[in-house]
Amino acid sequence: MSEEGEIHQHSGWLIPLMVMAVIVLLCAALLIYYLRPFALGRNGTAPFRDSRASSATVPLSVDGLRLRIPLRYIESRSARTAGPKTMVALVAALPDMRGYSEDEAQLFAGNAPDSPLVHLLIRAAWNSLGTQDRLARIYMPYITNPMGETGPFGLTHYGFRLHTGYGRDDLYAGDGLLLLCERPAQDLPSPNCLAIDRPIAPGVSLSYRFKRAQLSSWRAINADVGRLVADFRK
């Protein structure tokens, strides 16, 4: 009886140990799989290694516009794969339009009123309007003075009527660019300025936003954004 009891007790421990060993092996295999460097497959759609600080470049397209974008500029994890997209969100830091790095992880995660981050959105948009059409058709019905007035930093300012959807915003125009800027408020301590949809290719538009505190540099920001997107198109 004692021998049978010892055999039964031994076999009862053996099965859980075997299960645990299998689980450990599976976990190790999955870890190795996910940490390995990714390479593109023949169809060009395999994902790259998921690291925002990686120097890898992702070939993708937005409605036929071909781009090669370093991973460190791509905000969304789901967009860090090759192939066609309907949109891609990017982020860069002023003044040199650098991408994400681990050393500046806190900067890229922040939302300070004077943050140097510029957020870009390249998207498919066949119905995107040009600057003058957008001003006339979208904003002019809500503007108090259609002629505008002299604004800061060489911009023309358009004020909105208070009881409209834009009552808490200012609109600025300059050099063929429209900037819709949030007004600072107690519930909005870190306001943004948005450069609204500009066609950059047939059926593709570009928008970008930056902190209102950076408005004095709007010309330099616009030029830097243009150069960055041009680099991605090469």
Tens digit of each residue's pLDDT (9 = 90 or more) over 62-98: 999 999 999 999 998 878 899 999 999 999 999 999 9
SS3 (DSSP) at 108: helix
Q: How many Cβ atoms from other residues are within 10 Å of residue 45's Cβ?
A: 12
Residue 187 clears pLDDT 60, i.e. is over it: yes
pLDDT at 52: 79
SS3 (DSSP) at 97: coil
Residue 56 clears pLDDT 70, i.e. is over it: yes
SS3 (DSSP) at 161: coil
Q: What is the mean pLDDT of residues 140-157?
A: 97
Are residues 88 and 77 in contact, defined by beta-carbon separation less than 8 angstroms? Answer: no
pLDDT at 35: 37
pTM: 0.78
Please state the length of the chain. 234
**Of 15 and 82, the one with more pLDDT:** 82
Distance CA 60, CA 106 (A): 28
Residues of the chain above pLDDT 70, percent: 78
Give the pLDDT band of residue 26 (cuts 50, 70, 90).
low
Residue 4 clears pLDDT 60, i.e. is over it: no
Q: What is the mean pLDDT of residues 167-188?
A: 96
Are residues 80 and 57 in contact, defined by beta-carbon separation less than 8 angstroms? Answer: no
SS3 (DSSP) at 162: coil
Distance CA 222, CA 128 (A): 19
Please state, rounded to an integer, the average pLDDT across all residues of the chain: 85
pLDDT at 170: 98
Place of tokens 């870190």: 190
Residue 232 clears pLDDT 80, i.e. is over it: yes
Distance CA 152, CA 32 (A): 56
Query: Residue 198: what residue type?
Result: R
Whole-angstrom distance between the N-terminal and C-terminal Cα of the chain? 81
What sign does the CA torsion over 183, 187, 192, 197 have? Answer: negative
SS3 (DSSP) at 100: coil
Are residues 63 and 86 in contact, defined by beta-carbon separation less than 8 angstroms? Answer: yes
Residue 176 clears pLDDT 60, i.e. is over it: yes
What are 89-121's pLDDT values in tens digits?
999 999 999 999 999 999 999 999 999 999 999
Query: Residue 125: what residue type?
Result: A
DSSP-assigned letter for residue 36: S
Residue 37 clears pLDDT 50, i.e. is over it: no
